[in-house]
Amino acid sequence: MENNKRRRSLNSRDEVMILLIFFISLTQIFSYWIFEPLTSFLTDLFEIKFLPIFLLSLFIFLFSIRKEESNIEL
């Protein structure tokens, strides 16, 4: 009976774990708050309708290097 009435107190490891969970949650909330607008903008910008134009521009840039400038010997 006495064991049921006693409350278990937190030891130092439990307190540290609770503190770590609190700081990790706080970090997650602030990082979402800071980076959510940027990720939302980039997601809207690089939707599938903009992907072909982006890839075409990328390939044109990559393959427009002159043969003299590249290190590949043909």
List pLDDT tens digits, range 34-47: 989 888 887 887 77
Reduced to 3 states (helix: H, G, I; strand: E, B; else coil), residue 1 is: coil
pTM, full prediction: 0.44
Q: How many domains does the chain have?
A: 1
Using the predicted structure, report yes or no on whether residue 2 has a pLDDT greater than 60.
no
Does residue 65 belong to any structural domain of this protein?
no
Does residue 31 belong to any structural domain of this protein?
yes
Does residue 41 belong to any structural domain of this protein?
yes
CA atoms within 13 Å, Cβ hemisphere of 65: 10
- The residue segments making up the domain with residue 30 are 2-46
Q: How far apart are CA 54 and CA 49, in angstroms?
A: 10
CA atoms within 13 Å, Cβ hemisphere of 61: 6
Does residue 27 belong to any structural domain of this protein?
yes
